[in-house]
Structure 1
Amino acid sequence: MSSYQKRSKDELARRVAQDIPDGAYVNLGIGQPTAVANHIPPGREIILHSENGILGMGPAPAAGQEDYDLINAGKQPVTLRPGGAFFHHADSFAMMRGGHLDVCVLGAFQVSVTGDLANWSTGEAGAIPAVGGAMDLAVGARQTWVMMDLLTRAGESKIVARCSYPLTAIGCVRRIYTDLATFACSPQGLRLIDRVEGLSLDELRRLVGQPFAA
């Protein structure tokens, strides 16, 4: 058994932020992805979009500086960068559907090895579905990246051969960022980009439970 430390939520958000190219227009989904706004590398011009109608969103405000008239799609207070704007929800969805976003970063319940995404419902009785704008983002953005824990609370891999939960979109995911490793995703399957220090390749293969190129 290898000895390793999982990425914290902030470390995972920082890892995602590292890969966002300069000048990109990026939507951050509800949940873990919102933390990416706090880790944009200094000097890099990245324009953050929120589906409730913000372009030019900044990081979370300092304690005591919150303005609850300025929130992201997860109802968390945010800041507005110089030149930023807010606008009608319908205009925001037109941006999402019209192919104007370079990257969207979404959470997920499951991702298949070929990039199918399931992130709006577990299909369980009594579960509250929360599709939001995920379908619009998954097919409208030029690239969809997923940010999630690799394993469920029961220890099962969220990377699967075929999604068993209701699908959000088919073949849309290009990268999977997890607390243990990062993968590129394509119709040909998974390719490992990196893994946390101390985690052996054999142990990672056991945890993922699906084939990937290293």
Structure 2
Amino acid sequence: MLSQDKRHVIAKRIAEELMDGQIVNLGIGIPTLVSEYLEDKEVFLQTENGLLGMGPLATEENLDIDLINAGKEPVTYLKSASFFNSADSFGLIRGGHVDVAVLGILQVDINGEIANWAVPNQPILGVGGAMDLVTGAQKVIVAATLFAKDGTSKLVNKLTYKTSGIRRVELFVSDYAVFKFTEEGPRVVEMLEPISIEELSEKVGFQLEYLNSPVEVN
């Protein structure tokens, strides 16, 4: 697994969490790659700029410059797709009709609260749909590499970046491990790298525990 693109490892693992019939919103960054790994699953991808039934990312062969997702990336659409305005799209989100939101993050704390839209001392473009998705989606899965470029952990005791909402997300799928957030804090569901939980705890900076029986990569 070390030889694979970490972003694709994360996206493929998240795709395993999705089920037929679900309406799923894919955020900017790693989440957009999830569409590449759905295979034969009947999942309806939604983007807040007004599309339900989004297909995989576009290639040069099927590029339509007028068809983009919320991150302005060219996408395709399924035969069953629907197009609508942004107001209706946010009504879908705020009305609780999105089953799963997959979001990128800058940080997630031990309680499952996330920060994914503003970096201190950097220009702020706005939160976009993140706060609506954190509040309105039935389930929130977050996707990111576990460590930033400077080596600091994105799983932290307390957020130092601006929050995206006080709701506890369900899962954090990283390149090292899958975490579930419980009343007792984050618990490791599955290890995705050949590393012990003790070694990973040392890297993160606090003791991690398994949710159930350990599932490690050998």
Assess if the C-alpha contact under 8 Å between 1:58 and 1:78 holds in 2: yes
Aligned to 2:80: 83
Give the letter for the 2:12 counterpart.
R
2:141 is paired with a residue whose SS is strand
Residue of structure 1 aligned with 2:123, choices 118, 127, 132:
127
Assess if the C-alpha contact under 8 Å between 2:177 and 2:191 holds in 1: yes
Task: Say yes or no: does 1:96 pair with 2:96.
Answer: no
Task: Say yes or no: does 1:18 pair with 2:49.
Answer: no
Task: Say yes or no: does 1:105 pair with 2:111.
Answer: no
Measured in 1, the distance between the counterparts of 2:194 and 2:73 equals 35
- Deviation for aligned residue 1:74: 0.7
TM-score by length of 2: 0.91
Measured in 2, the distance between the counterparts of 1:19 and 1:138 equals 18
Measured in 1, the distance between the counterparts of 2:4 and 2:36 equals 20
1:1-214 pair list within 5 angstroms: 8-42=6-40, 44-122=41-119, 124-214=120-210
Distance 1:6 1:158, change over 3 A: farther
- String of CA shifts for 1:23-76, please: whole Å, max 9, x gaps: 11100001111111111132x111100010000000012323200111100111
Measured in 2, the distance between the counterparts of 1:210 and 1:69 equals 47
Measured in 2, the distance between the counterparts of 1:70 and 1:6 equals 29
Structure 1 runs not aligned, ≥5 long: none
Assess if the C-alpha contact under 8 Å between 2:188 and 2:209 holds in 1: yes
TM-score by length of 1: 0.92
1:169 is paired with a residue whose SS is coil
- Deviation for aligned residue 1:205: 1.0
Q: Aligned-residue CA RMSD in angstroms? A: 1.7
Assess if the C-alpha contact under 8 Å between 2:148 and 2:154 holds in 1: yes
Give the letter for the 2:10 counterpart.
L
Assess if the C-alpha contact under 8 Å between 1:113 and 1:210 holds in 2: no
1:64 is paired with a residue whose SS is helix
Measured in 2, the distance between the counterparts of 1:45 and 1:149 equals 27
4+ residue runs of structure 1 moved beyond 6 angstroms? none
Measured in 2, the distance between the counterparts of 1:110 and 1:6 equals 23
1:137 is paired with a residue whose SS is helix
Measured in 1, the distance between the counterparts of 2:172 and 2:27 equals 14
Measured in 1, the distance between the counterparts of 2:181 and 2:125 equals 26
Give the letter for the 1:15 counterpart.
R
Structure 2 runs not aligned, ≥5 long: 211-218
Answer 1 or 2: higher relative contact order, Cα 8 Å, separation at least 6: 1
Assess if the C-alpha contact under 8 Å between 1:13 and 1:32 holds in 2: yes
How many residues matched? 210
Measured in 2, the distance between the counterparts of 1:129 and 1:163 equals 20
Measured in 1, the distance between the counterparts of 2:196 and 2:125 equals 37
The alignment-based identity, stated in percent, is: 41
